[in-house]
Structure 1
Amino acid sequence: MNIVGNVFLVILIILVIYIVVSCVRIVPQAQAYVIERLGAYNGTWSVGLHFKVPFIDRVARKVLLKEQVVDFAPQPVITKDNVTMRIDTVVYYQITDPKLYAYGVDNPIMAIENLTATTLRNIIGDLELDATLTSRETINTKMRATLDEATDPWGIKVNRVELKNIIPPAEIQNAMEKQMKAERERREAILRAEGEKKSSILIAEGHKESMILEAEAEKEAAILNAEAKKEATIREAEGQAEAILKVQQATADGLRAIKEAGADEAVIKLKSLEAFEKAADGRATKIIVPSEIQGLAGLVSSIKEVAVDPKPDVKAAPKLEK
């Protein structure tokens, strides 16, 4: 009897421990628990340690509070100009009220999907094909505003809506590809023409620069040539002047030496005559000789004649009678 009682006591203790442990709940970060008591909403547990009443309270729903992303399958829509296309959307949403999320709507994700498809058809139905393809930002903004307002009673906030793919019919795709190909070819032709134009301009500028440099080089060469000729002329004139100066200096030195040797005036005039004789051997075409040297020249000529004819024909003067 004691053994049966002990077993029963152990089982009872284990059952009590299990019940106590099951009543202790820890809510993790970014989550919330919706608690019901006897089937009615009792409260919402946030992050931390919580205790519930056994057999009376229960966790009705665990709600994730982080931003979530749901990708919906492509939906067929018709544009204003009766073109059927398929568009798939991506919705970014976040649960802001766990109670409304738990009791506001059954299967909230399906409800958001159906609401997204309906809103998309309404918006695309007012746009033509070209506007649909070029107005993604406008469509995204309108859909986000509509969905956010519609899901607010469900405790859901729609942060963003993105059109993931816009798939037009096959014939429209082929026409668009041809149009894009033609546009690429047009841009390529424009870029090629601009490149050829720039290339021609660069070639012309290069030719112009070459001609300018060539002209400047010829100008510099002519200037250097003229300066070289000028320098040569100056050097030649300086050489001639220096030669004349040395000749005059040598003549002056000779005259000074004769004077120091005590030569008389006749010898000095004779030396002067010799200097003029040497000067006459140069390139000068006209020489002005002083008068005193002219007389001396005549005397020298007479002396030379006497020296050449040692026996002159001298006739005796007639004897005068008294």
Structure 2
Amino acid sequence: MEAYIGYIPYIFLILLIFFASIFIVKQQTAAIIERFGKFHSIRHSGFKLKIPFVDRIAGKVSLKIQQLDVIVETKTLDDVFVKLKVSVQYVIIKDKVYDAFYKLEYPHEQITSYVFDVVRAEVPKMKLDDVFVKKDDIAIAVKTELQDAMLDYGFDIIKTLVTDIDPDAQVKAAMNRINAADREKTAAQYEGDAARILIVEKAKAEAESKRLQGQGIADQRREIARGLEESVEVLNKVGINSQEASALIVVTQHYDTLQSIGEETNSNLILLPNSPQAGSDMLNNMVASFTASNQIGEAMKKAEKEKKNKENKNSSDE
């Protein structure tokens, strides 16, 4: 038993050496092995061996696509300060792990420096509105510059994106006011057009209403005239001349109107002359007016005839 106990330190030493000689490298990862402080090899994913106390893992680098966000503040051509957020997606080239690990001490700072340099060279050439429109051009310029510079260090630039453009707060407020004013102007124009259309359509509707109303009145008067004409013809057949017939029709309509007013219970009080001589006076006045009208008509016809005779005589003398 005491003999077996004496082997325990050796067993412990063997296990220590065994565990010190093995290591595991994760997927999409590369491990850099140094021997006595000097680069020895690069080990990729899987179960790996190294010489204990001679070889050491100097570091591990990820072969996955990584992203670095860089915020750059610069000034545009129209003297507006703006902050741009540039996202750089990059990956370490598998065959150039040595360069990526040993040539650059701080790759993030190196990439950031190039992004600052390119953005501050491109944006001052543009106005603020152009920065928003040409953000893809800025991203392409950043990628081109980084690709040429970082390739020698083992980094491949997958893509660069300008993900945010943030002007000065006062500038944003002014832009919002301009946009609001433009929208209010557009809204006012639409409202004015709508109001004008309503006015035009209302005027057209009123004009059509007046036209139809006038047409109705004309049709009504035409029918009244036709009815009066038929009434006069009937009276002529029984020996009453046209003037007497017209006077009789007017007097009849006068009394019919008085009767209809009397039958209306909801009408207001209306005072009309209704003496016994009213009908006679109305008839006499109408006959007198018809007589005067006929005399005036005959005088006008006579004057017109004399004028034409005079003109014909002057023409024959010439």
Picking from 66, 69, 74, the partner of 1:68 is 66
Matched ranges for 1:214-229 at <5 A: none
Deviation digits for residues 92-142 of structure 1 (CA, Å, limit 9, x no counterpart): 111113211101110111221222122211111222222213211111111
Q: Give the corresponding residue for 1:92.
A: 89
Note if contact 2:22-2:47 (Cα within 8 Å) is conserved in structure 1.
Answer: yes
Residue 110 of structure 2 corresponds to residue 127 of structure 1:
no
Q: Which runs of 5+ in 2 are unaligned?
A: 206-318
Alpha-carbon distance in 2 for matches of 1:196, 1:9:
106
CA distance in 1, matches of 2:188, 2:162: 34
Match of 1:176, SS state, is helix
The correspondence of residues 1-322 of structure 1 with structure 2, limited to 5 A, is: 3=2, 6-72=4-70, 74-96=71-93, 97-189=96-188
CA distance in 2, matches of 1:163, 1:91: 9
1:18–1:173 Cα change, 3 Å: same
Q: Which residue of 2 aligns with 1:215?
A: none
Separation in structure 2 between the aligned mates of residue 189 and residue 146 of structure 1, nearest angstrom: 49
Q: Supply the distance in 2 between the matched residues of 1:199 and 1:34 (Cα, whole angstroms).
A: 82
- For the residue of structure 2 that corresponds to 1:119, the secondary structure is helix
Q: Report the residue type matching 1:10 in the other structure.
A: I
Gaps (5+ residues) in structure 1?
208-322
Give the Å deviation of 1:10: 0.8
Secondary structure in 2 aligned to 1:26?
strand
Q: CA RMSD in A?
A: 2.8
1:13 Cα deviation from its structure 2 partner: 1.3
Q: 2:189 and 2:5 mapped to 1: Cα distance? A: 96
Q: Distance in 2 between matches of 1:199 and 1:102?
A: 76
Structure 2: distance between partners of 1:199 and 1:100 = 77
CA distance in 1, matches of 2:197, 2:113: 58
Counterpart residue type for residue 12 of structure 2:
I
- Partner amino acid, structure 2, of 1:179: I
- Structure 1 residues 57, 198: closer, same or farther in 2, change over 3 A? farther
C-alpha distance after superposition, 1:174-200 (max 9, x if no partner): 221112112333444566678889999
- In 1, the alpha carbon distance for the partners of 2:156 and 2:114 equals 14
Q: Deviations over 1:8-60 (max 9, x none)?
A: 52122112112212211222211111111221211211222221111121111
Letter paired with 1:149: D
CA 34–190 in structure 1, closer or farther in 2 if over 3 Å, else same: farther
- Is contact 2:114-2:145 (8 Å) kept? no
CA distance, structure 2, for counterparts of residue 6 and residue 21 of structure 1: 23
SS in 2 for 1:92: strand
Contact map agreement 1:133 1:166 (CA 8 A) in 2: yes
Larger Rg: 1
Aligned sequence identity (%): 25
User: How far apart, CA to CA, are the structure 2 residues paired with 1:198 and 1:54?
Assistant: 93
Task: Provide the aligned length of Structure 1 versus Structure 2.
Answer: 201
TM-score by length of 1: 0.55
User: Structure 1 7/78 Cα, relative in aligned 2: closer, same or farther at 3 Å?
Assistant: farther
Q: Supply the distance in 2 between the matched residues of 1:145 and 1:158 (Cα, whole angstroms).
A: 9
Would the alpha carbon gap of residues 7 and 183 (structure 1) be closer, same or farther in structure 2, given more than 3 Å must change? Answer: farther
Q: Is the 8 A contact 2:91 2:157 kept in 1?
A: yes
CA distance in 1 between partners of 2:194 and 2:155 (Å): 56
| TM-score w.r.t. length of structure 2 | 0.56
